[in-house]
Amino acid sequence: MSEKQFEGKSAIVTGGTRGIGKAIVLELAKRGANVAFNYAKSADEAEKLKAEIETLGVKAMAAQCDVANTESAAEFVKQVTAEFGTVNFLINNAGITRDTLILRMKEDDWDAVLDTNLKGAFNFSKAVLRPMMKNADGGSILNIASISGVVGMLGQTNYSASKAGMIGFTKALAKEIASRKITVNALALGLIETEMASEMNAEYREKILSQIPLGRLGNVQEVAETACFLLSDSARYITGQVIQPDGGLAM
């Protein structure tokens, strides 16, 4: 890997202020990309991250944006394109959980998860396609899915449905835009050490660990580096694929 392999490139990462999104934002910036990211509530964290990115010698943009709102997503992409000139990479990372058994699940719990996780990916992908199509070398879209969308998880009918939908969306979109030199792939993540994972009770955590062949949770840096590979020139012949960084959990 050249140190600045993404120099001159521009990326959008949704949900970029924490956990996996933040790790991807920083890794892209370290590799020379200008990076824009949105946040839902954490304005202070967003400003700190923006300042950190700028110390790496690249441009940064941060703005509050509801990914589930079609007009807001389109406006965000428009602002990024005006600031950076184009968009080369989109990482649809924004996601929420509202876990509970379906008999206890409220309609709002279903709608909120599907709107953020799946409709958000639709909104941003649609908005970036026109600027990406103008690039001589196309671009790349990467959807952050989950093994919940591959095998289903107890108490996650809404989340599993949203991530399974994202996987189907990845494959269909990859076929639609391959002729424009735009690749579309997904990461179906297993359990990654994030704030969400740290909130698991000890008993459940041990149970999950016992089912992971590699015997540990993944870390956000591993996800970020895998993401950057799929965005890189080395992966230009990979599209419509779902890669599972899950330690073997869902094989």
CA pair distance 145, 162, nearest whole angstrom? 9
Spell out the residues 6+ positions from residue 184 whose beta carbon is closer than 8 angstroms to its own: 125, 140, 141, 142, 143, 170, 173, 174, 177, 239, 240
Q: Which helix (H) or strand (E) holds 48?
A: helix 43-54
Note the residue count of the chain.
251
Q: Please state, in angstroms and as integers, the Cα–Cα distance from residue 65 to each residue in 34, 39, 41, 80, 156, following that order.
A: 19, 6, 9, 12, 25
Between vectors from CA 189 to CA 138 and to CA 127, what angle results, nearest 5°? 35
Residue 207: exposure state from Cβ atoms within 10 A (0-12, 13-18, ≥19): exposed
DSSP string, 179-195: GGTEEEEEEEE--B-SH
Catalytic entry in 39, 159, 204, 237: 159
**What are the φ/ψ torsions at residue 182 (nearest 5 degrees)?**
-110, 120
To the query of whether residue 159 is one of the catalytic residues in this protein, the response is yes
SS3 assignment, position 64: strand
Catalytic residues: 159
